[in-house]
């Protein structure tokens, strides 16, 4: 007689980049082992790979490879909250007093923050504009691991994340996935400096997973400390 399979409850979450609902189940012992092994390795590449594997197991009908980095960070924290508990113990050093500050953060208080100056639409001229998409974790890893110089990295990332070109005079939309890399590269070579600045601003103001901690130092001064990103919250 086979042992019974334990059913897991399903929960809903809003994916920050799309505002669409998704369903997930909590971690099982299997997923906790994957994360613990990755955490003990202290290798960010291994942690990222493990997080993608766990999310692939726990999310229902969602392609993890298409999610923005801040989506992954937000979702993994919320799955952790349903699987373990809502409290994350976090410590940091006060820059002035050099004392260690230990706090507990409620997962429900950690949000993805959207800069009001952020815009996925980059105007090229009176006739055309391009729509950007957020880089996936695989794309960010690829660019960070590249041996090319920083200019090449920026250019390659820029090309890969231009989703479409829109002609406002005819409402025609060109999907850049329909063109070769060389064609897209030649197209981007014709951008003006204003267009490049717009794309740089897109990256600089991308949404971030962050949380502001309010605390008192040992001298009684009120202070704040901002934590951002997966490497800060993954504990």
Going from the C-alpha of 181 to that of each of 20, 54, 82, 136, 225, the distances in angstroms are 30, 32, 42, 18, 43
How confident is the model at residue 234, as a pLDDT? 55
| Cβ-count burial 164-197 (b if 16+ within 10 Å, e if not) | ebbeeeeeeeeebeeeeeeebeebbeebeeebee
Confidence of residue 150 (pLDDT cuts 50, 70, 90): low
Max CA separation in the chain (angstroms) = 71
Quote the crossing angle between the two packed helices 137-144 and 150-160, to the nearest 10°: 160
3-state secondary structure of 109: helix
pLDDT tens sequence across 112-148 = 999 999 999 999 999 999 999 998 877 776 665 555 5
CA 35 to chain centre: 18
At 162, the pLDDT band (50, 70, 90 cuts) reads very high
């Amino acid at each position: 007689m086979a042992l019974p399979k334990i059913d897991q409850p399903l929960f809903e979450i809003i994916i920050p980049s799309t505002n669409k609902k998704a369903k997930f189940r909590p971690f099982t012992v299997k997923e906790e082992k994957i994360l613990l092994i990755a955490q003990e390795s202290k290798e960010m590449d291994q942690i990222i790979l493990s997080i993608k594997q766990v999310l692939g197991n726990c999310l229902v009908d969602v392609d993890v490879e298409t999610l923005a980095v801040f989506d992954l960070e937000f979702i993994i924290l919320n799955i952790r909250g349903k699987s373990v508990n809502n409290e994350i113990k976090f410590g940091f050093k006060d820059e002035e007093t050099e004392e260690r500050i230990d706090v507990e953060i409620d997962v429900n208080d950690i949000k993805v923050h959207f800069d009001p100056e952020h815009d996925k639409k980059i105007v090229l001229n009176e006739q055309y504009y391009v729509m950007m998409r957020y880089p996936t974790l695989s794309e960010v890893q690829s660019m960070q691991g590249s041996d090319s110089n920083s200019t090449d990295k920026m250019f390659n990332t820029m090309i890969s994340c231009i989703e479409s070109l829109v002609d406002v005079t005819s409402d025609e939309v060109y999907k850049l996935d329909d063109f070769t890399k060389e064609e897209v590269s030649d197209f981007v070579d014709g951008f003006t400096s204003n267009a490049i600045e717009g794309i740089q601003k897109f990256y600089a103001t991308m949404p971030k997973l962050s949380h502001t901690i309010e605390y008192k130092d040992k001298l009684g001064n009120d202070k704040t400390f901002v934590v951002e990103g997966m490497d800060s919250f993954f504990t």
